[in-house]
Amino acid sequence: MLIMALLMPDVQADDDIRLQLRWHHQFQFAGYYMALEQGYYQQAGLKVTIVPGAPGISALEQLLAGKALFAVSASGAVLAYLQGRPVVAMATVLQKSPNVWLVRADSDIYTLQDLASSKLELSLTQENAEFLAVFAKEGIDISKLQLTNSSMKLDDLISGKTDAFNGYLSNEPYLLEQLGIPYRVIQPVEYGVNFYQDILIGNADWVRQHPKQAAAFRQASLDGWQFALDNIDYTVNYIHQHYAPEKSIAHLHYEANVIRSLVMPDLVELGHMNPERWQQIAASYQALGMIKTVRPLDNFIYAEPVPTDYRLLIKSVLLLLLVITLLAFFTLRYRRLASALQAEMNRHAQTERLLVERNEELLQLASTDILTGLTNRRVIIQQAQAEIRRASRYQKDLAVMMLDIDHFKQVNDQYGHAAGDRVLAEFAALCMQSIRDSDLAGRYGGEEFFILMPEIDLKTAILSAERLRMTVAAHPFKLSDGRELSVSCSIGIAMYMPQQDDLDKLLLRADQALYQAKHQGRNRCCVQQ
């Protein structure tokens, strides 16, 4: 009993610990409610008060002004640190960002590039820099965006006052669904920008002066989050009764499911922070011109102090003798723990790498025809719609080619489908070699292909088509058994006519030209005016 008493952590709370939330009470902060309700803070010797946020109140600024010791903030906290302000990131709750652009489904906005020419509402704070960072990453001039400060009223999107509204994946989509308003989301994460969100930050000076209390508060908060994620039904009902009675049970459940998917507790340890990812986030602020230089973030990312209590050497000779006696055991144990810790760190690093690789693979699979490696039909149609809008807006030429391999069925019937697949893949490679870097080739279906040619006149388009046709006709298509085939193709060309064409009409004229080429004997190019 004496030894246990000596080893108990000396954690005392001289004053109340105020935790400032970044928004109104909701499931987004469930872990802190549960840490308080389940007594985790009390067991750690801490008296904690949770303060809700509100529009116009920055949790980060409340902390820096001394009105709270801890706060739930966004990745903008690293910017404050780089500006020399006393802030430390204690833990990250959301590993995947919930920030999204919301647009109405009846709009013609599908991509980030479409957003660049649209009316945007954005809360113009450092914490929302993620929405701007994605434009910078895509090479879009931020100064030319049609940005207005957000009213934080979803009615602006519904009424058409704005084309796009910055929202939270766990909140505004539910409200739109309840109103029966179809919508689309454009996520920065889909363009490779994924800031940490809902970061537990602390006053760096206080954390340095009270290391045990800070460590105890962090652990109790993470324990609360674990309880909340393991007991969603209980947590939802508790929040509804005690914190957010204005929110329905259904809304809180919707929010809980989205938040859990962003925390990713089955893949990443609660609170985990990757230093390299933080450096990338800081570099994004530098690219936006918010800071001039990025320095190391060692003092920004919290590291729990190794407990060292020299009073143990004074209080008990018995403890000293025990330490000496068990020194060998502790040394062996330390080595095993260090090895296990290194293995766990390697596992987390590998998990993050696998997540990045899997996201890249999914994006590639979603846009690519597996057999030929060309853009698939869905994506090239989307791109064609975007090029038509651009050609119409800026009065640019635009041509499309529809291509069909002649007598392709005979290849399959005579040599087999494996040979047919080989011919399709080689044909696709010839198309890629013959077109400009600015052109886009895709597989339209079966043996039919589609080439999109922006900013090209009719004469040049015909020359390009003829060059491709002759290249195909002269190319020996090699089969797996060494045999060679001669294959030809027919090509239909159509130029975009402003004020007359939409995508369907343009594709119809190209297809009619292709039919004409087939009717005239194949292995030729035809133009449909």
Question: What pLDDT does residue 9 have?
Answer: 39
- What is the average per-residue pLDDT within 412-435? 93
Question: What pLDDT does residue 13 have?
Answer: 42
Name the pLDDT band for 6 (thresholds 50, 70, 90): very low
HSE value, Cβ hemisphere, 13 Å, CA-based, for 281: 30
Q: What SS3 class is residue 484? A: strand
Of 417, 387, 412, the residue nearest 506 (C-alpha): 387
**CB neighbour list of residue 23: distance below 8 Å, 6 or more residues apart:** 52, 53, 54
> 187-199: b or e for each residue (b if 16 or more CB lie within 10 Å)?
bbbbbebbbbbbb
pTM (two decimals): 0.58
Whether the predicted pLDDT of 310 surpasses 60:
no
Whether the predicted pLDDT of 128 surpasses 90:
no
- What is the average per-residue pLDDT within 457-471? 95
- What is the average per-residue pLDDT within 244-250? 96
Q: Which two tokens stand for residue 124?
A: 């113009």
- What is the average per-residue pLDDT within 369-378? 93
Distance CA 60, CA 65 (A): 9
313-344: pLDDT as tens digits: 566 667 767 768 788 787 877 788 777 778 77
Whether the predicted pLDDT of 74 surpasses 50:
yes
Question: What pLDDT does residue 2 have?
Answer: 37
Residue by residue, what is the 3-state secondary structure of 139-188? Answer: CCCHHHCEEEECCCCCHHHHHCCCCEEEEECCCHHHHHHHCCCCEEEECH
Whether the predicted pLDDT of 3 surpasses 50:
no
Burial class (CB in 10 A: 0-12, 13-18, 19+), 383: middle
Among the four given CATH numbers 3.20.20.70, 3.40.228.10, 3.30.70.270, 3.10.129.10, the one describing domain 377-528: 3.30.70.270
- What is the average per-residue pLDDT within 201-226? 97
Name the pLDDT band for 56 (thresholds 50, 70, 90): confident
Strongest mean pLDDT among 194-203, 316-325, 337-346, 363-372: 194-203
- What is the average per-residue pLDDT within 468-472? 95
99-191: CATH class: alpha beta
2-95+196-287, CATH topology level: D-Maltodextrin-Binding Protein; domain 2 (3.40.190)
Distance CA 325, CA 425 (A): 72
- What is the average per-residue pLDDT within 94-107? 94
Question: What pLDDT does residue 177 have?
Answer: 95
- What is the average per-residue pLDDT within 10-24? 75
Percent of the chain with pLDDT over 70: 91
261-280: pLDDT as tens digits: 999 988 899 999 999 999 99
395-404: pLDDT as tens digits: 999 999 999 9
Catalytic position from the list 121, 130, 426, 447 = 447
Instruction: Find the range with the poorest average confidence among 131-135, 430-434, 445-449.
Output: 131-135
Question: What pLDDT does residue 245 have?
Answer: 96
- What is the average per-residue pLDDT within 414-426? 93
Question: What pLDDT does residue 1 have?
Answer: 37
Q: What SS3 class is residue 443? A: strand
What average pLDDT does the chain have? Answer: 89
The verdict on whether 360 is a catalytic residue reads no
Q: Are 2-95+196-287 and 99-191 the same fold in CATH?
A: yes
Are 214 and 9 spatial neighbours (Cβ–Cβ below 8 Å)?
Answer: no
**CB neighbour list of residue 329: distance below 8 Å, 6 or more residues apart:** none
Q: What SS3 class is residue 258? A: helix
- What is the average per-residue pLDDT within 31-49? 97
Question: What pLDDT does residue 287 have?
Answer: 86
Q: Domain locations in the chain?
A: 2-95+196-287, 99-191, 326-367, 377-528
Burial class (CB in 10 A: 0-12, 13-18, 19+), 295: exposed
Q: Which two tokens stand for residue 200?
A: 């537990």
Question: What pLDDT does residue 499 have?
Answer: 85
